[in-house]
C-alpha cells in the first residue's frame, strides 16, 4: 500500500480498495495479449469432494494451494488464469470461483457526535438492558460470544476485563491488533465488561469473548476469511457469532460455513447493511440468515437493522423482507481502539472513566453486536434453548409485539423482555412512588424510586397537555399553590444511571369553586415559599379566612 493510498479519506479508501481487489481478482485478461494470459496467476476458491480430487485439480491447473479450510472442504489455489477456467469440469470439484469481498458495515456519511439520550451509552437503556437481573448477566458467563472482525484492542478496559481469547485467521497467530478500529467498537458492544467500574457496559453480561480477526487494517476481507473465522469460532466453543460485515452477493464457501455453524448449534447474528440511501441492495451474509422473502419468519439466524434515538429506522439502514429485528445503531457509544486513526474514530471524553478511549459511531455494524450480546443473556437465562429458540424469542419479544415490518422487522431489541420470555416470566419495572397531601389550595408532593439518579415532575391541567414543572432534579419533594375550579394530574418520572426512565401513576387533584367559603381578600403565606400552578395570575383565595355574607339577589353591593 502506497503512502498516497493511506492518506485517502475513509470512504474513498474503501471504494479504492474494493476496486483494486476486484481488478486483482478479475485479472487483466480482457486487456492483456493472449500470450500473457497463461502466465498470469490469480486466486480461486475451490470446493472439493475428496482430497484426491483436490490434488488432481491442483496438478491439472499447475497451481499451488495457498490456504485451506478442511472442515468445509474448501481450498484457495493460485494458478494461471487459463488453467483455472477448466477446474469446474474436473470430477470431485464442487465449484471454483473467485473470492467474494467482504467489508465492515459502518456508515461513513453519518457524522459521529454526542446525542441527547440521558446517558452516553443511551442504547443500553433504550433496549431495557438495565432491567436484566444481575443473576442472568452472571449466568451468561457459560456462553461464548465470537466477534469476527478487524481484531480488537484487548487493552481497552472493558475488553481487558474479559481476558478475551484471540485468533487471527490471517496469519495464524493470537495477535489481533486492531489498527482499523471497527472490531474494537463491535466487541465492546457485544461483550464488554459491565462490572469493571469503568467505561461502558456490553450487552452480553458476563459472557466470554472470542475475538477472531478476519480483516486487516483496510477493513476489507473475503468470504474465505469469513468462513475460516466462522469455523474457528465454532470449533472453539462459540455459541453466538457476530458478523458486522457484508457484501452484495454470497458464495458457496460462505453458505458452507454458515451451514457448519448451524449444524453445530451456534446462533449467527449479522448486520443488515448500510445502503438504505443508496439502492438498498440486500447484504450477505445477513440475507442468508433471514432469507429474502421470509418477512422475518424462520431462518437460521438474525439480520439486524439500525434505529436512531427516536426509535425509527436510521436512514442509512437497509430494510426489506430479510430484516429480523432492529437495534440502536445511529450515534451509539462504544470503546475505540487506541491504535485506530482519530480522524476516522473521533474520541469522546467520558466523565468518570479513568482509562480507555471512547466515542460515537453509526452503522448496522453496531446494532448487530447488541443483539448478539442479548442472545448470550437469553441463553444464560435458559441454557436448554436451541439456537433457533433463542432467535425466535428475541424476535417475538421485540417492541413490535409480534408484528413485523420491513424497516425494523419485529421491532427494536428488548433485552429484558427476551430474558423474561426465556424464563417464562414478565418484566418487572422499577416503581416510582408519588404521593401528596392537600391543604386548601396548596398541595405538597413527594416521590421516590429505587436506583434513580434524577427525577422530572410534570402536570396536566384540566386534562390538557402535560407541562414540565421540574426538568431534572435530585429533589424528592415540592409544594405548589393551585387555582380553584381546576383539575390537576401530577406525574413523576425517574431516570437511572443508564438513562432508563419510568413514570409514576398520576396523582390527581380537583378543586371546585365554593360560593360559601370563598373570601375576597388576598392572603400571604408565611414560611416556605410556594408556587402558583396555572396559566393566569389572580389573587390567592384564603380558605381559612372568615366567610362574609354574600348579598341577597337584587341588593346593591358597595365596593370598598
Q: What residues are annotated to the active site?
A: 149, 182, 365
Distance CA 178, CA 475 (A): 45
User: What does the DSSP assignment read for 49-74?
Assistant: S-HHHHHHHHHHHT-EEEEEEGGGTE
- Please name the residues in contact with 223: beta carbons below 8 A apart, sequence gap of 6 or more: 45, 99, 100, 102, 247, 250, 251, 253, 254
Distance CA 171, CA 64 (A): 18
By three-state DSSP, how is residue 362 classified? coil
Q: SS in 3 state form for 295-327?
A: CCCCCCEEEEEEECCCCCECCCCCCCCCCCEEE
Looking at residue 409, the DSSP 8-state letter turns out to be B
Question: Which residue carries 400571604 as its cell?
Answer: 524
User: What does the DSSP assignment read for 196-252?
Assistant: SSSS---TTTT-EEEEEE---TT-EEEHHHHHHHHHHHHHTT-SEEEE-EEBS---H
The C-alpha cell at 512 is: 371546585
Angle, helices 415-423/368-381, rounded to nearest 10 degrees: 20
| Ramachandran category for residue 485: left, alpha or beta (phi over 0 → left; psi -120 to 50 → alpha) | left
The C-alpha cell at 521 is: 381578600
Beginning with the edge strand found earlier in the chain, give each strand of the sheet holding 93-97 in spatial order.
64-69, 74-80, 41-48, 93-97
Strand residue runs (E) in 128-184:
144-149, 165-168
The C-alpha cell at 341 is: 486513526
The runs of H, that is alpha helices, within 382-525 are 387-396, 415-423
Residues linked to residue 460 through DSSP beta bridges, in sequence order: 466, 489
The C-alpha cell at 180 is: 482499523
By three-state DSSP, how is residue 375 classified? helix
**455 contacts 470 by C-beta, under 8 angstroms:** yes
Amino acid at each position: 500500500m502506497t503512502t498516497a493510498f493511506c492518506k485517502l479519506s475513509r470512504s474513498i479508501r474503501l471504494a479504492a480498495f474494493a476496486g483494486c481487489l476486484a481488478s486483482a481478482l478479475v485479472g487483466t485478461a480482457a486487456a492483456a495479449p493472449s500470450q500473457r494470459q497463461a502466465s498470469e496467476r490469480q486466486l480461486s476458491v475451490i470446493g472439493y469432494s475428496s482430497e484426491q480430487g483436490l490434488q488432481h485439480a491442483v496438478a491439472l491447473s499447475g497451481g499451488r494451494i495457498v490456504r485451506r479450510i478442511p472442515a468445509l472442504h474448501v481450498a484457495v489455489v493460485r494458478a494461471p488464469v487459463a488453467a483455472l477456467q477448466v477446474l469446474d469440469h474436473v470430477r470431485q470439484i464442487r465449484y471454483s470461483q473467485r473470492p467474494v469481498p467482504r467489508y465492515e458495515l459502518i456508515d461513513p456519511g453519518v457524522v459521529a457526535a454526542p446525542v441527547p439520550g440521558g446517558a452516553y451509552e443511551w442504547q443500553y437503556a433504550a433496549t431495557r438492558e438495565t432491567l436484566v437481573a444481575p443473576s442472568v448477566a452472571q449466568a451468561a458467563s457459560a456462553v461464548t460470544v465470537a466477534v469476527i472482525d478487524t481484531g480488537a484492542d484487548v487493552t481497552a478496559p472493558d475488553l481487558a476485563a474479559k481476558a478475551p481469547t484471540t485468533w487471527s485467521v490471517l496469519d495464524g497467530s493470537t495477535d489481533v491488533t486492531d489498527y482499523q478500529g471497527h472490531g474494537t467498537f463491535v466487541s465492546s458492544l457485544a461483550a464488554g465488561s459491565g462490572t469493571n467500574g469503568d467505561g461502558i457496559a456490553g450487552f452480553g453480561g458476563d459472557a466470554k469473548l472470542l475475538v477472531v480477526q478476519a480483516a486487516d487494517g483496510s477493513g476489507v476481507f473475503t468470504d474465505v476469511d469469513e468462513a475460516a473465522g466462522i469455523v474457528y469460532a465454532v470449533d472453539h466453543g462459540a455459541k453466538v457469532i457476530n458478523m458486522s460485515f457484508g457484501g452484495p452477493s454470497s458464495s458457496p464457501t460462505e453458505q458452507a460455513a454458515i451451514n457448519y455453524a448451524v449444524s453445530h448449534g451456534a446462533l449467527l447474528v449479522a448486520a443488515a447493511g448500510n445502503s438504505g440511501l443508496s439502492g438498498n441492495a440486500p447484504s450477505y451474509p445477513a440475507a442468508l440468515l433471514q432469507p429474502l422473502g421470509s418477512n422475518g419468519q424462520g431462518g437460521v439466524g438474525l439480520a439486524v437493522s439500525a434505529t436512531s434515538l427516536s426509535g425509527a429506522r436510521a436512514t442509512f439502514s437497509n430494510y426489506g423482507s430479510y430484516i429480523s429485528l432492529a437495534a440502536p445503531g445511529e450515534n451509539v457509544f462504544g470503546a475505540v481502539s487506541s491504535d485506530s486513526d482519530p480522524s476516522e474514530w473521533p474520541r469522546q471524553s467520558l466523565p468518570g472513566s479513568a482509562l480507555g478511549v471512547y466515542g460515537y459511531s453509526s452503522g448496522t455494524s453496531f446494532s448487530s453486536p447488541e443483539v448478539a450480546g442479548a442472545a448470550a443473556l437469553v441463553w444464560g437465562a435458559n441454557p436448554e434453548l436451541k439456537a433457533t429458540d433463542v432467535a425466535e424469542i428475541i424476535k417475538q419479544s421485540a417492541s413490535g409485539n409480534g408484528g413485523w415490518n420491513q424497516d425494523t422487522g419485529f421491532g427494536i431489541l428488548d433485552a429484558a423482555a427476551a430474558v423474561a420470555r426465556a424464563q417464562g416470566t414478565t418484566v418487572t419495572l422499577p416503581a416510582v412512588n408519588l404521593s401528596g397531601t392537600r391543604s386548601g389550595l396548596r398541595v405538597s408532593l413527594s416521590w421516590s424510586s429505587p436506583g434513580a439518579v434524577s427525577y422530572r415532575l410534570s402536570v396536566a391541567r384540566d386534562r390538557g397537555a402535560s407541562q414540565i414543572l421540574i426538568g431534572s432534579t435530585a429533589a424528592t419533594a415540592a409544594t405548589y399553590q393551585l387555582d380553584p375550579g381546576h383539575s390537576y394530574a401530577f406525574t413523576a418520572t425517574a431516570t437511572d444511571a443508564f438513562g432508563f426512565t419510568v413514570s409514576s401513576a398520576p396523582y390527581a387533584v380537583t378543586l371546585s369553586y365554593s360560593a360559601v367559603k370563598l373570601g375576597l381578600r388576598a392572603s400571604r403565606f408565611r414560611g416556605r415559599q410556594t408556587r402558583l400552578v396555572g396559566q393566569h395570575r389572580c389573587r390567592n383565595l384564603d380558605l381559612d379566612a372568615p366567610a362574609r355574607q354574600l348579598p341577597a339577589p337584587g341588593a346593591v353591593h358597595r365596593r370598598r
